[in-house]
Amino acid sequence: MKHVFTGAVGVVLLAGCASPSAVVPYGKDTYIINVDDAMGGYSSGSLQVKAAQHANAYCTKQGKVMRVRNTSNQGTQGWTSTSSSLIFSCIDENDPENTRPNLRSVPDTVIEDRR
């Protein structure tokens, strides 16, 4: 019974360690939210979902919809702490920008040829 209780406490502790920051203004009509997992137990995808849920809730309270501007992830699940940042805007439902997001990865390295 002692092992079951210890295991249950461990699961509860791991489940509660991904914490979102407050939504912070990040320019005109733009906001940022960051979700950190100090234990590294969550995947970057799980953290992105959690950030998106909080961003959607923030925009819904304003009577608007969330529009993703940029995302980024840091860390390696299971090895280091992980985090996910989401930059977003809250826009009206009928805003022309309210379309399917066209997300593209930003390269880690850019090679410039100056010949």
Of 25, 32, 22, 19, whose CA–CA distance to 82 is shortest? 19
**pLDDT tens, position by position, 50-99:** 999 999 999 999 999 999 999 888 766 666 678 889 999 999 999 998 88
pLDDT tens readout for residues 10-61: 444 444 577 788 899 998 889 999 988 877 677 777 888 899 999 999 999 9
Which is it for the CA torsion 109, 110, 114, 115, positive or negative? positive
Tell me if the pTM is above 0.85: no
Amino acid at 100: R
pLDDT of 9 over the 60 cut: no
C-alpha to C-alpha distances, 37 to 6, 31, 50, 85, 104, nearest whole angstrom: 21, 20, 11, 12, 24
